[in-house]
Amino acid sequence: MLTTDSLRFAIGRWAECLPRCADELNALDGDLGDGDLGANLIRAAGRLEEAAPQLPADVGLALLRCAQAFTSVSASTYGTLLATGLMAGARLTKGREAVPWTEISVLLEAALRAMMQRGQGQLGDKTVLDAVEAARSATAGLAAPAALLDAARGAIAQACDRLRDARPRQGRARIFGDKGIGRDDPGMVALLRLVECLQPTAAP
């Protein structure tokens, strides 16, 4: 079951592993944006770590606190989108102290819908939305955390492969047009690394 302790575990892993991905993410983002994606994620992980000891047992309220950690570090669209996804999950889990792992896919679906609405983005735009959709679809029906993470990681990596040669259609990368062709979307890669951080064997 997903509990607040599961969130604490994830936060601990991100705080430990994300710094090792920072240069890669900053560089990817620097090609198509302002180059602060890795730095912003590390700052968010720091805020999450500070908040971790006091997270409430209610999973929904704990996810809300996590969303606030993202919105407190930067006004970047990526941070706001991740926070939006977390809040969508928070609404579905509010009032519960344990959420079955089989609901992860449902939570991802709610997150995806909310993120699409907030950012006015579509699937196929080559953004983090495509990575969330890949994870949602791959995790449906799975009940074991290790299997969930494996499936999500594989699916996001595939989505990156599939869209690498597509032209970005949303956000700042869109403005760079053809320059985005042949490059991974920084937001998709960031989500991939976030998942990998949670896997002892795949962690960067």
Q: Which residues bind other proteins (CB under 8 A)?
A: 60-61, 64, 67-68, 71-72, 75, 77, 80, 83-84, 87, 90-91, 94, 118-119
Closest approach of Cβ 192 to other proteins, in Å? 24
CB of 80 to other proteins, least distance (A): 6
As a 3-state breakdown, the chain gives helix, strand, coil percent values, each rounded to 5, of 75, 0, 25
Smallest separation (angstroms) from other proteins to the CB of 47 = 11
Paired with 99 in beta bridges are 2
Min. distance of Cβ 71 from other proteins in angstroms? Answer: 4
Q: How far is 168 from 145, CA to CA, in rounded Å?
A: 32
Q: Which is nearer to other proteins, 11 or 64 (CB)?
A: 64
d(CA 98, CA 89): 13
- Give the shortest CB-84-to-other proteins separation in angstroms: 6
| Euclidean distance between CA atoms 21 and 60, whole angstroms | 28
Q: Tell me whether residue 77 or residue 139 sits nearer to other proteins (CB atom).
A: 77
In the block, tokens 């000891």 appear at 53
- The region that residue 124 occupies, defined by phi over 0 for left and psi between -120 and 50 for alpha, beta otherwise, is left
For other proteins, which is the closer residue by CB, 56 or 204? Answer: 56
Nearer CB in complex with other proteins: 87/194: 87
Nearer of residues 57 and 181 to other proteins, judged by Cβ: 57
Work out the number of other CB atoms within 10 angstroms of the CB of residue 187. Answer: 29
Cα–Cα distance between 57 and 98 in angstroms, integer?
9
Phi/psi region, residue 106 (left: phi>0; alpha: psi -120 to 50; beta: rest), is: alpha
Q: How far is the CB of 203 from other proteins (least distance, A)?
A: 30
d(CA 29, CA 8): 28
Report the residue number, 119 or 186, with the smaller CB distance to other proteins. Answer: 119
